[in-house]
């Protein structure tokens, strides 16, 4: 059996838990929108055509922000096509996913849906086939109160009050050769800076995200971030990171430790951004929006879009059916995001429904939770207050891709108001359980609220429409108090959460 000791002190704080960390992503891709969140003919559909069963699961998932409308889709999208009377909206070819976009669902529908979901919108603008003028037009339509052509058009379309969208993505993956309208870093940096300046003339308080590299393996990774921020440092607030994870050559031990790669990615981009700031002698810090992340089996058949003369409406695409092992990895990636909450202030799991998603639906039928739903929902619900600095000591495990690493990865949060601590843990060892001791310096444990685990049994188990709870969290009855410590046993290849009531033994610092 492996061992691990986690030393926690409520006074050692990394940063407040960013509520935007628990975001998701809705793109006009596959069945994410049509027969996903929107299906007017569904038995549960509300008067706006939104599936009530999906809305209930979205609220349970705890999503705080939703990025829209893409993704690759946005780089050839005309936002004007998706507003106004539905019967007058033009169908368009979607060049990103080789599909036919009906435009039955657009900005106004999305804003009605997101308010019902109780989340904040993150809006992406098209800097692929379009540019600054169209971005400012979209901003005026969405956020201006009235008295201008576009704001009055929104009011005529039924939205009297402005949408008040605060957070905007300046394009999507503009370094990718697959992207319609891809650019070099200096070209994109100048366009992003120009668009940001124009948008801030409307509202200086907007929060703007520049495109970082599409993933860490891009040939221009690093130089892209440097060159973009050299052009746009003073005009943007965040830079995006995108990363998807899957087993390579059936190497499950390395896959379980995917958070090691996410850690390196975040640390690298933080260092690059800070180096640009240092050269500029700027006190400003560029934050990170990890606005696409998930497990995605990109080489699998469901990820292959149509081709040729076939331009279907909402074809099934990227519909990965997740296993327990995938859920353990997602839990580990959430630990990495929380650990970096001093710089990662927004993140979006991609995507929300059907497309590499925690929620699946059948057209006209049921909706259910995938395995990856559970660690996300538990973390979003219980990671509150401040992220704590976790000092780890204990056994290691060896992986081909990441070398020797801690067998147990963990992060903890502390909620002053509730007097509650949540500890999130992953046992990354494939074969050995781990006996974990949580050492709470400067605090006293009053009780154990709950401890749950995902994994440790059949790592290939999956939830389905007929068996939606095959891989749900189960109680971990090993959690117990031993003196002033908490001890628990983590099964091999598992994610766990322990919630404790804790009182500080000394006055808390501000």
Per-residue model confidence as pLDDT tens digits over 443-452: 888 999 999 9
Whether residue 14 is predicted with pLDDT greater than 90 in this model: the reply is yes
Q: Which residues are CB-neighbours of 201 under 8 A, at least 6 positions away?
A: none
Pick the catalytic residue from 120, 225, 292, 420.
292
Pick the catalytic residue from 109, 134, 173, 420.
173
Per-residue model confidence as pLDDT tens digits over 29-50: 999 999 999 999 999 999 999 9
Binned at pLDDT 50, 70 and 90, residue 207 comes out as very high
Per-residue model confidence as pLDDT tens digits over 314-325: 999 999 999 999
Binned at pLDDT 50, 70 and 90, residue 457 comes out as confident
Spatial distance between the Cα atoms of 493 and 430, rounded to a whole number of angstroms: 5
Binned at pLDDT 50, 70 and 90, residue 432 comes out as very high
Spatial distance between the Cα atoms of 381 and 298, rounded to a whole number of angstroms: 30
Domains of the chain: 2-10+386-504 (2.60.40.1180), 26-245+264-300+341-363 (3.20.20.80)
Does the active-site annotation cover 319? no
- pLDDT score recorded for residue 270: 98
Whether residue 239 is predicted with pLDDT greater than 90 in this model: the reply is yes
Q: How many CB atoms lie within 10 A of CB 310?
A: 11
Whether residue 168 is predicted with pLDDT greater than 90 in this model: the reply is yes
Does the active-site annotation cover 173? yes
- pLDDT score recorded for residue 304: 83
Average pLDDT, integer, range 147-166: 98
Cis peptide before 69 (omega within 30 of 0): yes
- Please report which helix (H) or strand (E) contains residue 5, including its range: strand 2-8
Binned at pLDDT 50, 70 and 90, residue 441 comes out as confident
Average pLDDT, integer, range 245-263: 97
């Amino acid at each position: 059996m492996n061992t691990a000791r986690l030393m926690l002190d409520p006074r050692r704080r990394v940063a407040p838990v960013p509520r935007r960390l628990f975001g998701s992503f809705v793109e006009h891709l596959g069945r994410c929108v049509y027969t996903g969140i929107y299906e007017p003919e569904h038995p549960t559909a509300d008067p706006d055509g939104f599936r009530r069963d999906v809305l209930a699961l979205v609220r349970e998932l705890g999503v705080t922000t939703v990025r829209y409308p893409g993704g690759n889709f946005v780089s050839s999208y005309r936002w004007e096509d998706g507003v106004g009377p539905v019967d007058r909206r033009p169908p368009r070819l979607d060049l990103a996913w080789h599909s036919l976009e009906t435009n039955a669902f657009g900005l106004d529908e999305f804003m009605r849906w997101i308010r019902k979901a109780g989340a904040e919108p993150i809006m992406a603008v098209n800097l692929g086939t379009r540019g600054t003028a169209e971005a400012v037009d979209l901003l005026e339509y969405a956020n201006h109160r009235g008295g201008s052509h576009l704001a009055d058009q929104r009011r005529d379309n039924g939205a009297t009050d402005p949408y008040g969208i605060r957070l905007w993505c300046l394009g999507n993956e503009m370094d990718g050769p697959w992207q319609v309208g891809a650019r070099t870093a200096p070209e994109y940096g100048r366009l992003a800076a120009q668009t940001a300046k124009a948008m801030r003339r409307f509202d200086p308080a907007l929060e703007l995200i520049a495109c970082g590299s599409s993933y860490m393996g891009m040939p221009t990774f690093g130089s892209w971030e440097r060159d973009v921020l050299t052009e746009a440092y003073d005009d943007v607030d965040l830079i995006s990171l995108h990363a998807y994870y899957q087993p390579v050559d059936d190497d499950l031990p390395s896959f379980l430790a995917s958070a090691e790669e996410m850690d390196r990615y975040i640390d690298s981009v933080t260092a690059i951004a800070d180096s640009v700031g240092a050269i500029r002698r700027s006190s400003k810090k560029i934050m990170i929006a990890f606005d696409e992340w998930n497990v995605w089996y990109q080489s699998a058949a469901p990820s292959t879009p149509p081709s040729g003369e076939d331009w279907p409406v909402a074809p099934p695409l990227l519909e990965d059916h997740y296993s327990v092992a995938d859920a353990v990895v997602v839990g580990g990636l959430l630990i990495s995001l929380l650990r970096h909450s001093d710089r990662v202030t927004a993140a979006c799991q991609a995507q929300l429904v059907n497309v590499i998603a925690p929620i699946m639906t059948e057209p006209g039928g049921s909706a259910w939770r995938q395995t990856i739903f559970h660690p996300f929902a538990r973390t979003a619900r219980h990671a509150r207050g401040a992220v704590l600095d976790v000092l780890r000591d204990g056994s290691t495990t060896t992986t081909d891709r990441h070398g020797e690493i801690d067998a147990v990865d963990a992060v903890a949060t502390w909620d002053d108001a509730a007097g509650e601590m949540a500890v999130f843990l992953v046992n990354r060892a494939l074969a050995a359980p781990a006996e974990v001791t949580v050492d709470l310096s400067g605090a006293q444990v009053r009780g154990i609220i709950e401890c749950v685990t995902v994994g440790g049994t059949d790592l290939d188990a999956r939830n389905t429409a007929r068996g939606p709870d095959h891989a749900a969290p189960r109680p971990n009855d090993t959690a117990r108090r031993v003196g002033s410590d908490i001890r628990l046993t983590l099964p091999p290849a598992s994610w766990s959460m322990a919630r404790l009531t804790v009182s500080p033994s000394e006055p808390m610092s501000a």
